[in-house]
A and B are shown apart, each in its own frame.
Chain A
C-alpha cells in the first residue's frame, strides 16, 4: 500500500492538536476563575472561597500538566512534520511563537510552582498575585498563538520573494485582518467552556445535597458567565463569519454548502453535501436565509463553491457538519444559561431539582463546540496551510511515511491512555469535592516514621 506522508502528517497534527486544545481552552478560563476566587477571598475574607480555590487548583494542576506536555509536542512538530512550512513562513510565524514562549510560557510555568505549592510558603497576597500572573500568562499565550494562526488564515504585513515569505510590518502581521475577531471568539470560548464546567459541577453537588455553600457559589458564578457570554459569543461569531466572508469566501461557501454564486444562498439547516455532483442531497433549508445573514439582503449574492476551481475548495462535508455542531452547542448553552437566569431571577435556582439534574451534564458542551469550531476554521482553510502562500501538500517534511505512521500509532496509543486517565482523575477529584476547612498547612511537618507513609500521602492529597 502506498502511504501518503502529507496525509499521515495531517492526521497526526490534527490528532495531537485536537487533544492539546482541550486542556488550554479549559485552563485559560480556570486560571482566571481561580484568580477571581482568590481575589474575592482576600477582599471578603469568606473562607469557602479559599477552599474552592484550593479545590479547583488541584484540577487546574492536572489539566495544566496535560496541556504543557501536549503543547511542547506541537512546537516541535512544525519542524519534524512541516519543515517546508518552517522554511517558507518561518521568518514571519516563528517570531510570534518566540514571543509566546518569552512572554507567556515562562510566566505561567514558573509562577505555577508558587500557585500550586506556595499556599503556606509565601504571604497570601503574593500567592494571589502568582495565581493572577498564571492567568495573565495563559491569556498571553492565547494572544500570540491566535496571532500566528490568524496570520496563516489572513496573511498580511509580509511580502513573498522566491516563494519565501518575509516580514515587512510586524504590527500588520500580528494584528492581521482576522486576528481581533478570532482572538475574541477563542477567548470567550475558553471562558465559556470553563464556566460550563463550573456550572455543571455546582449543579451536580447541589443536586446531590453535598457542599451546598460551595455549590451555590459555583452555580452563581458559572451561570452568570454562561448567561452573559453565550449571546456575546454568538454575536462575535457572526462578526467573525462576516470577516471570513471578506477574506476566505471559499470557507463560507463550504460552511453554507452554497454551490451556485449566481443565486441567493439558502440557509441550509440539514443536507448531505455531494461534492462530486456539486449539489446538496436531502436538503432542508430556509430560502434566502444565508444571503440575509451574510449580505443583509434576502436576494444578496455571495460566492458559491462552483466559483472556485475544484483544487482550491476546502472539503465541504467536515466543514459543513462541524459548523452545525458548533452552532448546536451554542443553542444548548443559551438554553441552559437563560433558563437558569430566569430561575435565578424568580429565586428558585437552588431548589429547582429538574434544572440542577439536567444542567450537571452541560460540562462537555464547550469542549465539543471548541473542537468543532476549530475543525471549521482549519479544514475550511484547506487546501492552503498559509492562505494563498503555501499549500498544505507542499508544506510537509522529507520524512519517510513509515516513520510518520510509526509515530502516529504511538501518539494514538499514548494519548488515549494518558489523557483518558487524566480525565478519569479529574472526575475523581470532582467526586471527592472541596473537602476540609481551608486551614493553613504547617510550614514544616516533623519527620514521620515509615509507617505513616500512607497517612502522609493521603494528607498530601487533601492539603494540596
Chain B
C-alpha cells in the first residue's frame, strides 16, 4: 500500500470523528434541553430553555449531516453496510429529529395552543437521542457482513447492549443540557438545572462504567487492546483522567460554578469517545471493515479533503461568531424573538 492510500483514510476517519464529536456535544445540549423540558414547571421557564438554544440548533444539527455525508464521501463501503444494518433505528431517529426540528418554529407560531409541540419537542428529542445510542451500540456489537455487503436481519440491533448505550446517551445528553442551562440561564431555572445535573451525573457515570466493563468482557479483541502489556500502561491514564473530570464536574456542581459543569461534561463525552476509538480502531464496522477496506478512491478523498481544509476553519469561525453574538445569559421572559 502506498503512503497516500495508507494515510488518507486515517485523515478522513479523523475528520469524521471530529464531526461526530462536535455533533454529539453541540446537538447534545439541544436534545438534552428538550429531554428536560417536562421537568420545567411552567411555560415561562420552558420558553427560557428553548430560547437558550434557538439561534444555534440548526447549525448544530448540520454536523450530523457532515458526519453521515463524510462517511458517504470517504467510506462508501462502510456507509453502504452501516445504514442498511441499522435501517429502522436510523429512520426512527430521523423522524424524531423531524418532530424536534419543526417544534422550534411551530411552537412559537402555535401559541397559545402549543402543548402538542411541547410534547413533540420532548418526544422527538428523546427518540432521536435514544436511537443515536442504539445506533452506536449496534455498530459496536458488530454487523453481519458477507462479501462486503450487510447480510443480517432487520432487528439485529434489538439486543441488550444497544439498549444500554441508548439509555447512556439519553442520560448523557440530559446532563449536557442541564449543565448548559446552568451556564446559559439565570434565575430559578439555573438553580433547578443544577439540581437535575446532580441526579444525572451519577447515572451517566454508571452507564459509562457498564459500557466500559461490558465491551472488554464481550469482545476479546477489546480486552486484548486495553489489558495486554504494555498497552495497559499507556492506556491507564484514560480511565484515571475520566474519574478526575467526573470529580471536577461534581465539584463544579456543588460549589456553584457556572461553566465548569458544562465544560467537564464535554470532557466526559470526549473521553468516552476516545475510549471507543481506542477499543475499535482501525475498524469502522467492528470487526469486519477497516478504514482501509471501506475507503473511497484517493481521487475522491483528496477532492473533498481540499474543500474540508478550506471550509472547515471558515465554518468553525462563523459558528464561533454566532455563539459570540448570542453570548450572555438568557433571562426569564426574555427572548431573542
Q: Is B258 interfacial (CB-CB < 8 Å)?
A: no
As a 0/1 sequence over residues 422 to 456 of chain A, the CB contacts with chain B under 8 angstroms (1 = contact) are 10010011000000000001001111101011101
Decide: A112 and B77 in contact? CB cutoff 8 A: no
Assign chain A's interface to a size class: 35 or more
Q: CA separation between A464 and B104, bound complex, in Å?
A: 13
Shortest beta-carbon distance from A402 to chain B in Å? 7
Decide: B109 and A461 in contact? CB cutoff 8 A: yes
As a 0/1 sequence over residues 186 to 206 of chain A, the CB contacts with chain B under 8 angstroms (1 = contact) are 000000000000000000000
Q: A62-B105, A83-B84 are in contact. Are A460 and B77 (CB under 8 A)?
A: no
Q: Is A393 interfacial (CB-CB < 8 Å)?
A: no
Q: CA separation between A7 and B331, bound complex, in Å?
A: 52
Q: A95-B300, A167-B297, A407-B87 are in contact. Are A114 and B76 (CB under 8 A)?
A: no
Q: Is B164 interfacial (CB-CB < 8 Å)?
A: no
Q: Is A166 interfacial (CB-CB < 8 Å)?
A: yes
> Which residue from B101, B315, B334 sits with its C-beta under 8 Å from A110?
B315
- Chain B residue nearest to A61 (CB atoms) is B105
Q: Chain B residues near A79: list those with CB within 8 A.
A: 68, 71-72, 79-80, 82-84, 90
Q: Chain A residues near B153: list those with CB within 8 A.
A: 400
Q: Chain B residues near A68: list those with CB within 8 A.
A: 58, 61, 101
Decide: B106 and A113 in contact? CB cutoff 8 A: no
Decide: A402 and B322 in contact? CB cutoff 8 A: no
Q: A70-B98, A400-B153, A410-B95 are in contact. Are A454 and B334 (CB under 8 A)?
A: no
Q: CA separation between A464 and B105, bound complex, in Å?
A: 11
> Which residue from A62, A400, A461 sits with its C-beta under 8 Å from B111?
A461
As a 0/1 sequence over residues 371 to 383 of chain A, the CB contacts with chain B under 8 angstroms (1 = contact) are 0000000000000
Q: Is B54 interfacial (CB-CB < 8 Å)?
A: yes
- Chain A residue nearest to B60 (CB atoms) is A109
Q: A407-B88, A418-B99, A447-B333 are in contact. Are A90 and B80 (CB under 8 A)?
A: yes
Shortest beta-carbon distance from A392 to chain B in Å? 16
Decide: B319 and A106 in contact? CB cutoff 8 A: yes
Q: Is A101 interfacial (CB-CB < 8 Å)?
A: yes
Q: Is B21 interfacial (CB-CB < 8 Å)?
A: no
CB within 8 Å of A: which of B29-56?
A: 42-44, 47, 54-56
Decide: A92 and B304 in contact? CB cutoff 8 A: no
Q: CA separation between A398 and B315, bound complex, in Å?
A: 36
- Chain B residue nearest to A402 (CB atoms) is B154
Given contacts A398-B84, A456-B47, 4 further A-B contacts (CB under 8 A): A64-B58, A64-B105, A95-B304, A114-B325
Would you call the interface of chain B mostly helix, strand, loop, or mixed? helix
Q: Is B94 interfacial (CB-CB < 8 Å)?
A: yes
CB within 8 Å of B: which of A64-103?
A: 64-66, 68-70, 72-73, 75-76, 78-80, 83-84, 86-87, 90-92, 94-95, 97-99, 101-103
* Segment touching B, from A116-124, A266-274, A316-324: A116-124
Q: Is A111 interfacial (CB-CB < 8 Å)?
A: yes
A-B contacts, 8 listed (Cβ < 8 Å): A69-B98, A98-B69, A98-B307, A98-B308, A117-B337, A398-B150, A457-B47, A457-B111
Q: Is A296 interfacial (CB-CB < 8 Å)?
A: no
Q: Is A458 interfacial (CB-CB < 8 Å)?
A: yes
Interface of B toward A, CB cutoff 8 Å: 42-44, 47, 54-56, 58-59, 61-62, 64-66, 68-73, 76-77, 79-84, 87-88, 90-92, 94-95, 97-99, 101-102, 104-106, 108-112, 149-151, 153-154, 187, 296-297, 299-300, 303-304, 307-308, 311-312, 315, 318-319, 322, 325-326, 331-337
Decide: B102 and A69 in contact? CB cutoff 8 A: yes
Q: Chain A residues near B72: list those with CB within 8 A.
A: 75, 78-79, 86, 90, 94, 97-98
Q: Is A421 interfacial (CB-CB < 8 Å)?
A: yes
Shortest beta-carbon distance from B118 to chain A in Å? 12
Q: A95-B303, A110-B322, A445-B333 are in contact. Are A86 and B111 (CB under 8 A)?
A: no
Q: CA separation between A109 and B299, bound complex, in Å?
A: 29
> Which residue from A121, A398, A446 sits with its C-beta under 8 Å from B149?
A398
Decide: B84 and A422 in contact? CB cutoff 8 A: no
Q: Is A3 interfacial (CB-CB < 8 Å)?
A: no
Q: A398-B151, A453-B42 are in contact. Are A461 and B79 (CB under 8 A)?
A: no
Q: Chain B residues near A166: list those with CB within 8 A.
A: 297, 299
Decide: A90 and B110 in contact? CB cutoff 8 A: no
> Which residue from A64, A111, A112, A425 sits with its C-beta under 8 Å from B106?
A425
Q: Is A175 interfacial (CB-CB < 8 Å)?
A: no
Q: CA separation between A406 and B44, bound complex, in Å?
A: 39
Decide: A97 and B69 in contact? CB cutoff 8 A: yes
Q: Chain B residues near A464: list those with CB within 8 A.
A: 108, 337
> Which residue from B42, B90, B333, B337 sits with its C-beta under 8 Å from A76?
B90
Q: CA separation between A125 and B45, bound complex, in Å?
A: 33
Q: Is A463 interfacial (CB-CB < 8 Å)?
A: yes
Q: CA separation between A457 and B48, bound complex, in Å?
A: 11
Q: CA separation between A420 and B116, bound complex, in Å?
A: 15
Q: A425-B110, A461-B111 are in contact. Are A83 and B83 (CB under 8 A)?
A: yes
Q: Is A105 interfacial (CB-CB < 8 Å)?
A: yes
Shortest beta-carbon distance from B155 to chain A in Å? 8
